[in-house]
Each structure stands twice: as structure tokens, then as C-alpha cells.
């Protein structure tokens, strides 16, 4: 139990903030319609975003946790925590909220059994306006609020303080860029952080940045990163290994979780790489290029880019519908494969021999490179890894992650034979295993409050 008493300084700043939100509120439907052009799921469940529900959903359980995981990465990171919590708390209910459709879809897949047996409810998070938050709290009556990583909202935190509901920031991280932005609004955001009972930081560096915005020692605990405690789905790995066996004498180089603009850089790097090596005798095994975009609404856009190269391209979704003999023929003829299925990242990683991690080649901060590392895969990243700053530094320093300036250099260096000797995968997996333990530390703080 923490001896810290949450409070809300500078209420006048929050009133100005709320006024700005009310001014922007009429634009929200237009924003959702605009996002819905490429991702139709944004046109669904609008009522939930305004905290309108068809019926009361107050769970009878003694503990009712509001767990907010904004999008895909945060949702997947909650899995080991949720499983451990339910193992220790049989009379409990979790209301899982998201902001993005990809987060919602991931939650539906990860927690299908809990959603079916009534231990979990899943809705979109309401916007940070007091009337909407009041309806949410009235409907679901949470006894605890757990917020993943970075999603800190001033009115939500004020509501937790007013209602005497303990709120915890879980797997908290703060980049140098975010720290600078937060300090510009310290009266508003510092007040929001003052509403947390627990601020559970991923690293000492994150903890120091929280202290810079006013988080005090009584709130702060370094618990490590939940993403190290990931559950590796054996059935996905087995499926990936099955597909890999169909790729005779083929080495798979994969761009995983790519973001907008990175696919074009990747294709240019491939073109330069193949032009550079045109005069060299074709290496054995051959190289096949796989690409898995981060967001499903971009699958068709990326497919168009791949087809424009003039190479033979096949979609993973098409392969899945074919018998094995046709899969073998299609893969044998394909120069590139588009990973256009959701919820199968470990299948893709099991197929790959080398992974170039998306979100690192343009200033997006990086996607989760720990997942392919958990399978012992050599991973190359670009210069933008601020979402994983401390982990990245530790992995680079331990020689289990590789960083370069461009994807072309990554392709050149990925040819190095020393990356594929037996001890490298073992060393990578050992690094991941040694960093585990965040769930246990979080359980001590949160499970029995």
C-alpha cells in the first residue's frame, strides 16, 4: 500500500483545458469519419466514445478494474498482467478500454475467453470530459484504474481523486521528447500525475523524468517492462515454422510492423542492394523479402507499392486459403510476401531469418523489437527507438540488437554469416529471459489493494 495521498493542484488550469475540449468536441465526428476512410472500424461504436451504453453493466464482483490500453502495443503488453491478476483474483472484473480499433481487435483476440465468460468487458474509452467520465464511472463503477504506459488525461485523474479511486500508471515510460512537452504544460500535466497512487516506471531513466514533472518518491516504483514478460504463443510459432519448412533454400528478410513511409525506403534499399550485388554470383540460399505493415488499413496501399516494383508478390491471406502444394509453388515463385493478416506476429517472426523493425527508420520511436528477440531472431533497428530507449540501449550494449543509419546498411550487414551461428539466438533469448519480472513486481503493488 502506498502512503501517498493523491491530490489535484491547479484546478483552474484544468478548467481551461476542459473549455478547450468542449470547443473541439463538434469536430470529433468529422475526425472519426476522416479516419474511417482508410479504417472503417473508426465508424463503429461511436456511442461508447461518448459513454453511452444500451444497458447498465456494473459488474457484481468485489474488484472492478478499469484497464486502459490505448492501442495494439499497449494491449498486447497487458496480457501477462491480466492472466496473473485473474489467477490470484477469482472475484474480479476488468473493463478493458482502448482508443484505436487495432487495440480493440487485439483485445478481442487476446482475451476472448475472459470476454466470453464475463470476467471482462471491452469498450472504447470515453473522451476526457467530465459528463462522459461521470457516465462511465456510473456504468462500470471501477474500484481501481490502471492506465498503460503514457495515456494520462487530466480530467480522468481528477475524477479518480474526487471519487477516492486508486489510479496506477503501469509500465510507464517517458521519452526525452515527451518530458520536454510535458514540462511546457507542467501545471496541467503535473497536476494529472499528482492524481496517481502508483507510478510504475519501466526504468530508472523513466523514473527520473517522472520526478522532473513532480512525481514524488511515495508514488514511484521501478517495476521493469511488461513486454519482457510476454507470452509466446506456441501455436503461432508452430505455424510459422511449418511455413518456413516450405521455403526450400530460402532466407527470409522481414520488415516488421512498418509505418507509413518506411515501406518506400525499404523498397529503395532492396533495389540498391540487388543492384550492388548484381555482378556477384547469386548467393545460396536465395533471399525472399517479407513485409508486415503495422496497420491493417494500409495493407492494400502497401500491396500497390510492392506490385509497382515489378516483382512477383503474394499475400499471406491468399496463401492461407490454398492447399499445401499450391502454397509451396506460390512461395517458390514469390520474390516478396505481404503479411496482411492480423494477430499473427509470432507466426511471422518464426518465419523470418532476419528482422528489420518498423517504426525505427523514420521518427516514430520504434515498434516492439522484443517479440522477435524472444524467438532468438537477429533484429536490426534504425535510429528512432525512443519508445524503447532504455531497453534498446541495454540490448545494443549487450550485443543482442543491431542499429544502423539506413535499411540499406541493415541489408548489407544482415548478410554477415556470424549473425546466424548457433550461439547468437541463445544469447538473444537469454537477454530477454534475464529482464523478466515486471508482472511479479506489479502484482505486489496492485493485486491485493
Q: Spell out the domains of the chain, with CATH numbers in brackets.
A: 11-223 (3.40.50.11720), 234-434 (3.40.50.2000)
Q: How many helical (H) and strand (E) elements, i.e. helices and strands, does the chain have?
A: 22, 14
What is the predicted pLDDT for the residue at 353?
Answer: 93
What is the predicted pLDDT for the residue at 36?
Answer: 86
User: Is the omega angle on the peptide bond into residue 285 within 30 degrees of 0, that is, cis?
Assistant: yes
Q: Cell numbers for 151, please give them.
A: 495515456
Q: Rounded to an integer, what distance in angstroms lies between the CA atom of residue 260 and that of residue 305?
A: 12
Q: Rounded to an integer, what distance in angstroms lies between the CA atom of residue 298 and that of residue 16?
A: 37
What is the predicted pLDDT for the residue at 413?
Answer: 86
Alpha helices in 126-198 (DSSP H): 130-140, 154-162, 176-184, 186-193
Residue 242 DSSP one-character state: H
Q: Cell numbers for 136, please give them.
A: 462511465
Residue 336: alpha-carbon gap to chain centroid: 25
> Which of the residues are catalytic?
74
Q: Rounded to an integer, what distance in angstroms lies between the CA atom of residue 312 and that of residue 164?
A: 60
User: CB of 282 within 8 A of CB of 246?
Assistant: no
User: CB of 415 within 8 A of CB of 115?
Assistant: no
Q: Rounded to an integer, what distance in angstroms lies between the CA atom of residue 408 and that of residue 403?
A: 12
- Exposure string of 345-363, with b = 16+ CB inside 10 Å and e = fewer, is bbbbbbbbbbbbbbbbbbe
Residues of the chain with pLDDT under 50: none
Reported pTM: 0.87
User: CB of 81 within 8 A of CB of 439?
Assistant: yes
CA distance between the termini of the chain: 7
Q: Rounded to an integer, what distance in angstroms lies between the CA atom of residue 318 and that of residue 321?
A: 5
Residue with cell 494500409: 298
Amino acid at each position: 500500500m502506498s502512503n501517498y495521498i493523491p491530490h489535484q493542484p491547479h484546478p483552474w488550469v484544468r478548467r481551461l483545458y476542459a473549455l478547450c475540449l468542449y470547443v473541439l468536441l463538434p469536430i470529433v465526428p468529422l475526425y472519426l469519419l476522416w479516419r474511417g476512410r482508410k479504417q472503417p472500424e473508426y465508424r463503429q461504436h461511436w456511442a461508447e466514445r461518448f459513454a453511452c451504453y444500451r444497458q447498465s453493466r456494473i459488474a457484481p464482483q468485489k474488484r472492478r478494474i478499469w484497464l486502459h490500453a490505448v492501442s495494439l502495443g499497449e494491449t498486447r503488453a497487458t496480457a501477462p498482467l491480466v492472466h496473473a491478476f485473474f489467477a490470484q483474483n477469482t472475484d474480479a472484473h476488468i473493463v478493458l478500454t482502448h482508443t484505436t480499433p487495432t487495440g480493440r481487435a487485439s483485445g478481442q483476440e487476446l482475451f476472448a475467453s475472459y470476454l466470453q465468460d464475463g470476467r471482462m468487458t471491452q469498450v472504447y474509452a470515453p473522451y476526457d470530459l467530465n459528463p462522459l467520465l461521470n457516465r462511465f464511472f456510473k456504468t462500470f463503477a471501477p474500484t481501481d484504474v490502471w492506465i498503460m504506459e503514457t495515456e494520462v488525461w487530466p480530467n480522468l485523474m481528477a475524477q479518480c481523486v474526487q471519487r477516492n479511486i486508486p489510479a496506477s500508471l503501469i509500465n510507464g515510460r517517458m521519452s526525452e521528447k515527451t518530458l520536454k512537452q510535458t514540462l511546457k504544460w507542467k501545471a496541467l500535466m503535473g497536476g494529472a500525475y499528482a492524481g496517481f497512487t502508483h507510478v510504475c516506471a519501466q526504468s530508472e531513466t523513466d523514473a527520473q523524468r517522472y520526478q522532473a514533472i513532480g512525481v514524488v518518491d511515495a508514488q514511484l516504483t521501478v517495476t521493469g517492462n511488461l513486454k519482457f514478460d510476454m507470452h509466446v504463443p506456441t501455436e503461432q510459432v508452430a505455424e510459422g515454422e511449418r511455413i518456413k519448412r516450405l521455403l526450400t533454400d530460402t532466407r527470409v528478410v522481414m520488415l516488421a510492423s512498418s509505418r507509413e513511409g518506411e515501406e518506400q525506403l525499404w523498397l529503395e534499399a532492396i533495389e540498391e542492394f540487388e543492384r550492388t550485388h548484381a555482378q556477384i554470383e547469386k548467393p545460396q540460399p536465395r533471399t525472399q523479402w517479407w513485409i508486415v505493415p503495422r496497420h491493417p488499413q494500409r495493407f492494400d496501399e502497401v500491396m500497390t507499392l510492392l506490385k509497382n516494383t515489378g516483382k512477383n508478390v503474394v499475400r499471406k491471406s491468399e496463401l492461407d486459403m490454398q492447399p499445401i502444394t499450391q502454397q509451396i509453388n506460390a512461395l517458390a515463385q514469390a520474390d516478396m510476401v505481404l503479411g496482411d493478416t492480423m494477430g499473427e506476429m509470432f507466426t511471422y517472426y518464426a518465419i523470418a531469418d532476419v528482422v528489420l523493425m518498423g517504426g525505427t527508420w523514420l521518427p516514430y520511436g520504434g515498434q516492439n523489437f522484443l517479440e522477435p528477440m524472444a524467438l532468438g531472431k537477429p533484429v536490426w533497428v534504425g535510429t528512432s527507438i525512443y519508445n524503447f530507449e532504455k531497453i534498446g540501449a541495454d540490448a545494443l550494449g549487450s550485443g543482442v540488437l543491431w542499429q544502423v543509419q539506413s535499411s540499406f546498411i541493415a541489408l548489407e550487414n544482415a548478410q554477415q554469416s556470424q549473425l546466424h551461428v548457433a550461439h547468437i539466438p541463445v544469447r538473444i533469448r537469454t537477454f530477454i529471459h534475464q529482464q523478466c519480472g515486471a508482472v511479479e513486481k506489479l502484482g505486489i503493488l496492485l493485486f491485493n489493494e
